[in-house]
Amino acid sequence: MGEITEKIIWHKCKKCGKLQYPEHLRCLTCKNKEFEEIEAPSEAILLTYTILTAPPKEYRNKESYALGIVEFPNGIRALGQITSEKNLKIGMKLKTEYAEICADLDGKAVRTFVFKPIS
């Protein structure tokens, strides 16, 4: 795993052009090992979501939260928290942000990408 940044970075295969998450060491299509880093767009579309009403212990300060699957303009999909549970609609635009989502069981802040509805 690489260094954590406040931007979503994908790998673009230098041989076939497939975009994928950087956790893969080889291209999922052609098995090439050479990639170009591509920064993800900051906006995505909400494909589906659910409201979790029994969150794990790490979310002890929340009674519930929204979790959704989003799709970026190039077709890549991601799973993540949505910053609001209200007025969510399939197809709505969301903005990617890097934020604290909870504290782990030792009290250490956990930060990751979340999706914020665009009004």
pLDDT in tens, 1-56: 344 557 888 899 999 999 998 889 999 999 999 999 988 889 999 999 999 998 88
Across residues 83-107, what is the average pLDDT? 91
Q: Which CATH architecture has domain 43-117?
A: Beta Barrel (2.40)
Give pTM, 2 decimals: 0.78
Cα–Cα distances (Å) from 35 to 2, 15, 42, in that order, read 14, 8, 21
pLDDT tens digit sequence for 48-87? 999 999 888 887 778 899 999 999 998 889 999 999 999 9
Residues of the chain with CATH 2.40.50: 43-117
Task: Give the pLDDT confidence score for residue 12 in this predicted structure.
Answer: 94
Strands 77-82 and 109-117: parallel
Tokens of 92: 């709505």
* DSSP-derived 3-state class of residue 75: coil
